[in-house]
């Protein structure tokens, strides 16, 4: 299972790198064309915007999987182990509820906008909203895995800031 997660993470990170590279080429190329030749490629602005949406949502999933999102755990850290576990379970359940609401709204937007096309490229706008659908699914799976681990009594994986603060690191 860990190998599958590692491969999916690697693939997602590779797609993010490709999308960022494509965005950079399109935006820089457009700036160069406008400055030097007083012209531009109109479709590149629209496609760069769509890629930016995908990069934002997929990046959020990657960061969530690595434990990199901001968190407030001042109160939870002073609780006994059982209290920490209970807070983790309640937190995971609330996050799953948020992911379900997010997924429901994203699904509705995808369905509504699949018949609406972008003005320049003609790409169905549902594809832009699909980024939110994919993100809600990815975030939900990460939270669900953490909930299962919490119910089984396993500790959460260390966050990036905790790894860096370990002695000798």
Structural domain boundaries of the chain?
2-164
Please report the pLDDT score of residue 167 as a whole number.
54
The token duo for 106 is 């994203």
Distance CA 76, CA 163 (A): 19
pLDDT of 138 = 93
pLDDT of residue 89: 94
- pLDDT value at residue 68: 80
pLDDT for position 9: 87
Q: Give pLDDT, residue 162.
A: 53
Q: Give the residue among 157, 139, 4, 127 at the shortest CA–CA distance from 67.
A: 157
Centre a 10 Å sphere on the Cβ of residue 161 and count the other Cβ atoms it contains: 10
Distance of alpha carbon 53 from the chain centroid? 10
Angle at 53 between CA 102 and CA 73, to 5 degrees: 55
End-to-end CA distance of the chain: 27
Task: Output the pLDDT for position 105.
Answer: 96
**What's the whole-model pTM score?**
0.84
Residue 8 confidence (pLDDT): 86
pLDDT per residue, tens digit, the chain (169 aa), is 678 878 888 999 999 999 999 999 999 999 999 888 888 888 988 999 999 999 999 999 999 988 887 788 888 889 999 999 999 999 999 999 999 999 999 999 999 999 999 999 899 999 999 999 999 999 999 999 999 999 998 887 766 555 554 555 5
Give 117's DSSP letter: B
Q: How far apart are CA 28 and CA 5, in angstroms?
A: 34
């Amino acid at each position: 299972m860990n190998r599958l997660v590692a491969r999916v993470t690697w693939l997602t990170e590779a797609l993010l790198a490709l999308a960022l590279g494509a965005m950079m080429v399109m935006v820089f190329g457009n700036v160069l064309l406008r400055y030097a030749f007083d012209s531009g490629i109109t479709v590149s602005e629209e496609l760069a915007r769509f890629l930016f949406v995908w990069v934002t949502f997929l990046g959020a999933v990657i960061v969530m999987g690595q434990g990199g999102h901001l968190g407030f755990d001042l109160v939870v850290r002073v609780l006994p182990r059982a209290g920490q576990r209970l807070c983790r379970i309640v937190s995971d359940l609330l996050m799953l509820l948020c992911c379900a609401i997010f997924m429901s709204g994203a699904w509705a937007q995808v369905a509504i906008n699949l018949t609406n096309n972008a003005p320049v490229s003609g790409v169905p706008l549902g594809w832009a909203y699909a980024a939110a659908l994919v993100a809600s699914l990815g975030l939900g799976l990460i939270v669900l895995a953490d909930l299962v681990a919490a119910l089984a009594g396993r500790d959460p994986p260390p966050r990036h800031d905790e790894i860096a603060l370990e002695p000798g690191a």
